[in-house]
Chains A and B, each alone.
Chain A
C-alpha cells in the first residue's frame, strides 16, 4: 500500500507535471531545431515568436468569450489557436522577407544571422508588449480538473490524492497530434521530403531541382504553428507573461541541443529529458521517501536537491554534460 501511495505522490508532483512541461518544451525545441536544420542558424527570437502567437490567441479567446462562444469543458483558447497560428505565420514570413532573406542570399556566416535574430527578438518583444502589455494573464477557462485529488482519494481509498488538470491532458494530447502530423509531413509528403533533403545536403537538394524559397517558406509556417501551439499550451498550463517566454529560450535551446540540433526526434527526447530533470532535481522528495523507506529511516528534511529557483541551472548542467561527452547530442544532430 505504501508503495502505491508513493507512486501516486510521485505521479502527482513529478510525472504528470513533467510530461506536460516536457511536451511544451519538445514543441518549442522542434521549432528551434527545424530552423537550425533548414536555415542553419540558432533563432534567438523563438521565445518571442511563441509569445506573439500566444498573445494573438489570447486576444482571439477574449473576443470569442465576449461573443458568448466557449468550448464547453475545454479551454476556449483551442478554438482561437488557428487564428494565432495564422497571425504568427504572417509575422515570421514577413520577418523572413524583410530581414533574413537578405543574409540568406548573401550567404552570410551563421553567427551574423544569430545576431540579426537578436534584433528581431527585440522587435518582437516590443510588439508583444504593444499588443498585450507586460502583466500576468491567465486565459485558461472551462473545466479545471479531469481528476481531482479528493475524487481520486474517494474512488481508490488511498491516503494520497492524484490531481490531473485539464490543461495537462490537453497539452499532452495536442503535442502528440502536432508531433504525429509533423512526422507524417516530413516523411510522407513531397514537400516534407524535400525539406529533409535540403537539411541533409543543400547543394545536392538544389541540384535535384528543389525550390529553396518554397522549402524556407514552408519551414517558417511549420515553425510558426509549432511555436504558437507550444506557447498557448504553456500559457494554458501556467500563465502568460511576455518575460517568461523570453526565459523559456534557455530550456528550449537546451532541449534542442541535448537532442542534437537539426534532429526532430532528438528535440522531442531532449524536451522530456530537460523537463524531467528540472522537475526531479527541484522536487522535495520527503513524502515519497517517507512511504518507501522504513519508518526509522524516513527523512526529516525536505530532501530537495536544489531550490526551484535553480531550474535554469539544471537545464544548463545537463546541456554542458551532454556537450562535453556527446557533442552532437543524443540523436546525432549536425554540427556545422
Chain B
C-alpha cells in the first residue's frame, strides 16, 4: 500500500483504539494509556534515532530513562534543610575528586610512554584517588542521610519548576551517553549492547543505593506537577459549575481535565521532537547517517568521521530517552527506583521500534502508542480469554485457578510473539523506512 495512505490509516486505527477504550473503559483510563503512550512514543523516537538511523544497538534505555527521572527530583523538589551545610559540599567535592582521579589516570595512560612505570603510575593514581575520594565522600553521605531519614535523608533538589527538569533530564542522559560512547562505541555491536545493558543496571543500582541522592528504595514522592491537582479543581466553584454545565461529575471531570493537560504537554514535546527528527532524517546529515549505517567502510572512505558521528547520534538518542524519563516521573509524581525493570523500559521500547518500523520516525511513534496500548490491554484480554477457556471446568478447581493466575503473565508472551512475527514476516515494520 502507498505509504501516503498507509500511515494515516494506521494512525487512524490507533485513534479508534483509544476512543474505543474511552467508550468501553472510561475516558480516565483511555487518557492514562494515551499519556504513557505519548511518553513511550518519545522513547521509541530516541531508540529509532540510534538504531534506525545509525544502526547502534543500545539496550540500556532503562538507564537513560531513570536518569531523566532523577532530574525531575533534583530540579523540582525543595532542598532538604541543613543538608548542604551538613555534608552536601563534602559529597560534591568527593565526586569531583573521584572524577579528577579518573581523568588523571586517563592522562597518565595517554601521555606517558608505555611500560611498567606507566602501569604503576596509573595504578597508584587510581588507588590513592579512590581512598581520598572515599575519605571525603563517606562522611558527607553519612551526615546527609542522617537528617530526618524517615521523610528526607537526601540532599533534595533546587525547587525549580518541574518542567525545567525535562530538558535537564535530557542533559543528564546525554552526559552519561557521552561517557559510555567514549569508551564503548569503538567496540563491536554485541559488545556495545552488553556495555549499555551493564550501564543501565549500574544506574539503577546507584539510584537504589545512594540514599543521599534519590532516597533509594524509600522513593521520592510528591514531586511537583505542571498541572493543577484534582483535589484543587474539585474545590474550585467555577470548575464545578462548568463540569455540571457539561453534564459531568466533578470528580471524573477533574481527572479528565488534568490528564488532558498532561496529554497536551506531552503531545507538544512529541511533535517538536518528531519534527526535529524528520528534519534531521531529510537533511544531508540524515543521509550521511544512513550511509554510515549501510556501509561503514564506504562512508569512512568518503572521509566521514564514523566514530564521531556515532557518538553524536548516540548522545542525541539517549538525551531523548532522558527527556521521556523526566516526563514519566513528572506524570507519576514520584521516583521509585525499584520499579525500573529492563523488560519494561528497555526491551519493550525495542518492540515498539521494531513493530512500528525502524528507520521511520512515524513508525516509531505509531509503535510506541500502539504497543503501549496493547501492553496495558493484554492483561484484561488474557484474563477474559482464560475465563472463557476455563468456564467449562468446575468452579475453584486447581486448573481453573492456575489458568486465571497465568493470565497475568500473558504480556511478555504476547510481546515476544508479536516481535518475532513482525521480524519474520514484515521485518521493516508497520510503516517501513522509505
Contacts and interface: CB of A to CB of B under 8 A. Distances in A.
Interface of A: 41-42, 99, 102, 110-112, 114-116, 118-127, 129-130, 133-134, 243, 246-247, 249-250, 253-254, 257, 261, 305, 307, 309-310, 312-313, 315-316, 319-320, 323-324, 327, 335-336
A196 to B, nearest CB: 21
Given A118-B347, A122-B347, A250-B198, A313 B205 contact: yes
B347 A319 contact: no
A-B pairs, top 3 by smallest CB distance, nearest first, are: A122-B416, A126-B413, A123-B416
Contact of A122 (B184, B343, B405): B343
B190 A42 contact: yes
A124 B405 CA distance: 17
Contact of B188 (A118, A129, A250, A335): A335
Interface stretch (B228-236, B238-246, B276-284, B419-427): B419-427
A129 B193 contact: no
Given A122-B415, A123-B412, A129-B409, A102 B424 contact: yes
Contacts of A310: 202, 205, 209
Contacts of A124: 416
A316 B420 contact: no
Given A319-B195, A320-B184, A118 B350 contact: yes
Nearest to A99: B420
B208 A327 contact: no
Given A120-B416, A313-B202, A111 B189 contact: yes
A253 B424 contact: no
B61 to A, nearest CB: 12
B191 A119 contact: no
B86 interface: no
Given A125-B412, A246-B342, A257-B191, A315 B183 contact: no
A293 to B, nearest CB: 16
B411 interface: yes
A126 B190 contact: no
Contacts of A312: 198, 201-202, 205
28 contacts: A110-B190, A114-B190, A116-B420, A116-B423, A121-B416, A122-B412, A123-B416, A123-B417, A123-B420, A125-B343, A125-B416, A126-B411, A126-B413, A126-B416, A127-B413, A130-B406, A130-B409, A133-B405, A246-B343, A250-B201, A254-B194, A254-B198, A257-B191, A310-B202, A312-B201, A323-B184, A323-B187, A336-B188
Contact of A309 (B187, B197, B208, B347): B208
Given A114-B57, A125-B343, A312-B201, A257 B194 contact: yes
B418 to A, nearest CB: 8
Chain B binding surface SS class: helix
A133 B406 CA distance: 8
A110 to B, nearest CB: 7
Chain A binding surface SS class: helix
Given A126-B409, A316-B199, A119 B193 contact: no
A312 B208 CA distance: 13
B410 interface: yes
Interface string B335-362: 0000001110001001100100000000
Interface in B199-254: 199, 201-202, 205, 208-209
A36 to B, nearest CB: 8
B26 to A, nearest CB: 28
B194 A119 contact: no
Contacts of B350: 115, 118
Contacts of B187: 323, 327
Contacts of A315: 198
Interface in B114-137: 130
Contacts of B354: 115
Contacts of B194: 42, 250, 253-254, 257, 319
Contact of B201 (A116, A120, A247): A247
Q: Among B189, B415, B416, find the residue whose CB has the most chain A CB atoms closer than 10 A.
A: B416
A111 B343 contact: no
Given A115-B423, A119-B420, A126-B412, 13 more contacts: A112-B427, A114-B190, A115-B354, A118-B59, A119-B416, A122-B347, A246-B342, A309-B205, A312-B205, A316-B198, A316-B201, A319-B194, A320-B184
A130 B417 CA distance: 15
A328 B205 CA distance: 29
Contacts of A336: 188
Contact of A42 (B193, B198, B201): B193
Contacts of B208: 309
A41 B415 CA distance: 22
B23 to A, nearest CB: 30
Contacts of A127: 413
A114 B193 contact: yes
Nearest to A307: B209
B107 to A, nearest CB: 16
A114 B57 CA distance: 10
Q: Among A115, A124, A257, A323, find the residue whose CB has the most chain B CB atoms closer than 10 A.
A: A115
A44 to B, nearest CB: 8
Contacts of B193: 42, 114
Given A123-B417, A313-B202, A129 B412 contact: yes
Nearest to A102: B424
A102 B420 CA distance: 11
Contacts of A110: 189-190
Contacts of A305: 130
B348 to A, nearest CB: 9
Nearest to B131: A305
Contacts of B405: 133
Nearest to B422: A119
